[in-house]
A = this chain, B = another copy of it.
């Protein structure tokens, strides 16, 4: 039984010959302490391996040095990547990161937020798609910093961090144009979703900037799935003349496009170039490895963390900020 009771602030004070108050202030720096006693206290803190009890501190301060990441599905590889970014920044500062996966319905989210806010998390990164205003309000009302990954900017409801879907897609299309292709098909996902809309906009913008005229018949839509990609690609490849490249709205669609190209006995990239979007793990494992646009999930996580830290130190007085991070084109062998 190694039951050696952990040292408390009182032990430190006694051993250093000062009051509890002084120890507290040495550690928090919230009031001047003479260099001499400060040194002595710090030495004793070392000797006793003293660390303040987070529960006791939380009880007094209402803070917890913890940040929560609320997602709709931990299993989506985007989120762990974000979590890694949060850790990069927050772990060294002594913050704890809790990941909270919530089914996409608002009662679950209500419950999860209650739990988290009861525990006095200092910040919440909200990646749940079904979040409502009342959820935002619950978080900020509880005094926690909020960062969202989508939605409208509102000074009451924290900051927003997101990636530049339009710009990323424009880069992909530009790349394909620079490879000499002009007749470029676009296999979109659901055009009523934000990614569908923004990525299509990127496609159009790149064509315009390159002086290539937009041809409506080269754009097809479907679900963001492999099957959607197969169908969309077949439709475009049946055109006469067939497109020289298929730009896909996500990697799953691109996988399907690859299937379709193969089914027609054509070769990638010789006969037709294919690009994806997202850079899922599989992208580099396909044959040929897929040229795609990498969603900077980790960098998004880091940015969220920094915004939270800023709010924590500057107080809640400032307005809302929106940070848009560039997507990065990854050129592999499918173009």
Contact = CB atoms under 8 A, between A and B. Distances in A.
Interface of A: 2, 51, 53-56, 58-59, 64, 66, 73-75, 77, 79-81, 83-84, 87, 91, 94, 96-101, 112, 114-116, 118-120, 141, 226, 252, 255, 258-259, 262, 280-282, 285-287
A37 to B, nearest CB: 25
Copies in the complex: 2
A301 B278 CA distance: 27
| Interface of A: prevailing SS | helix
Given A51-B114, A94-B115, A97-B99, 12 more contacts: A2-B141, A54-B118, A54-B119, A75-B80, A80-B80, A87-B101, A91-B101, A91-B112, A96-B116, A280-B282, A281-B281, A287-B287
Nearest to A62: B55
A259 B51 CA distance: 54
20 contacts: A2-B141, A54-B119, A54-B120, A55-B64, A55-B120, A56-B59, A59-B59, A73-B84, A74-B81, A74-B84, A75-B84, A80-B80, A83-B99, A83-B101, A94-B115, A262-B287, A281-B281, A281-B282, A285-B286, A287-B287
Among A2, A99, A116, A141, the most chain B Cβ lie within 10 Å of the Cβ of A99
A290 to B, nearest CB: 10
Contacts of A282: 280-282, 285-286
A119 B96 contact: yes
Contacts of A116: 96
Given A83-B74, A281-B77, A287-B262, A115 B96 contact: yes
Contacts of A87: 74, 100-101
A95 to B, nearest CB: 9
A66 B121 CA distance: 13
Contact of A99 (B53, B56, B99): B99
A100 B97 contact: yes
Contacts of A79: 80
A264 to B, nearest CB: 14
A119 to B, nearest CB: 5
Contacts of A97: 98-100
A315 to B, nearest CB: 15
Most chain B beta-carbon neighbours within 10 Å: one of A66, A100, A285, A286: A285
A300 to B, nearest CB: 14
A293 B119 CA distance: 40
Nearest to A259: B287
Contacts of A281: 77, 280-282
A79 B74 CA distance: 10
Contact of A118 (B51, B100, B101, B262): B51
Q: Nearest 3 A-B pairs (CB), nearest first?
A: A282-B282, A55-B58, A55-B59
Nearest to A61: B55
A12 to B, nearest CB: 15
A312 B258 CA distance: 51
